[in-house]
Amino acid sequence: MTGTKKRLFIAIDISPETRLRLQDAQLRLRAALPDTKWVKPAGMHVTLVFLGYVDDAAEAAVKRATGRVARRLVPYDFAVEGIGGWPSARRPRVVWAGIKDEGGFEIAAAELTAELATIGYESEERSFRPHVTLGRIKNPRRPEDSDAFTAAAAEVGSTYQHARELVLYCSTLSRAGAEYKAEAVFALGNDTGIDTNTCL
């Protein structure tokens, strides 16, 4: 693996039940947003920090930093609810599912950003807003069905779950879409990570 680089990010996973509900929401939106590249349910997550392309030595440092942050955090509850679009639901470029919590995602992202800065990573300039990306629209335009987002949001409802782990993911890009594989998993409240090394 010497000399190779992996495209890495750190995320919180969502439950299988939530993935199924979000997949149903995608089906409701397909007719209204026909030029959308939809995220596969297995790839749905809440990104905390995107790292970009990282070599082996830097990846080891990232894992240590992520472990230090995981040890300081505690598990927390959150809900996935609502469907929206960026920059607006009237002419979206990205379709997303919203997150409702008591600040756990913001704390985790801030802690990671600060810890990663100590090993040379700069934070993104845009503000952090936790969400689950459902699809990216190739040619943004007004949805053909003005009630599509309302119907999709009703399909999702509110799904409550627990954040218990930080996951270091590797992203492989292809024409078929991005594929995500876990590189390491860190339980919140514990700095001992489990290496999976699935992105080879």
Got the DSSP string for the chain? -TT-EEEEEEEEE--HHHHHHHHHHHHHHHTT-TTEEEPPGGG-EEEEEEEEEEEHHHHHHHHHHHHHHHHH---EEEEEEEEEEES-SSS-SEEEEEEEESSHHHHHHHHHHHHHHTTTPPPPSSPP--EEEEEEESS----SSTTHHHHHHHHH-EEEEEE-EEEEEEEE--TT--EEEEEEEEETT---EEE-----
What does the pLDDT read at residue 198? Answer: 58
Burial environment of residue 183 by CB neighbours within 10 A (0 to 12, 13 to 18, 19 or more): buried
How far is Cα 122 from Cα 113, in angstroms, rounded to an integer? 8
Q: Which of 82, 89, 172, 81 is nearest to 137 (CA)?
A: 89
How much is the pTM? 0.89
Among residues 90, 95, 93, the alpha carbon closest in space to that of 145 is found at 90
Q: How many of the other CB atoms lie within 10 Å of CB of 200?
A: 8
pLDDT at 138: 82
> Minimal CA–CA distance to 81: which of 156, 193, 142?
156
pLDDT attached to residue 200: 54
The pLDDT assigned to 1 comes to 42
Q: Which domains does the chain have, with CATH numbers?
A: 5-195 (3.90.1140.10)
Q: Which residues of the chain have pLDDT under 50?
A: 1
- The partner residues of 165 in beta bridges, in order of sequence, read 187
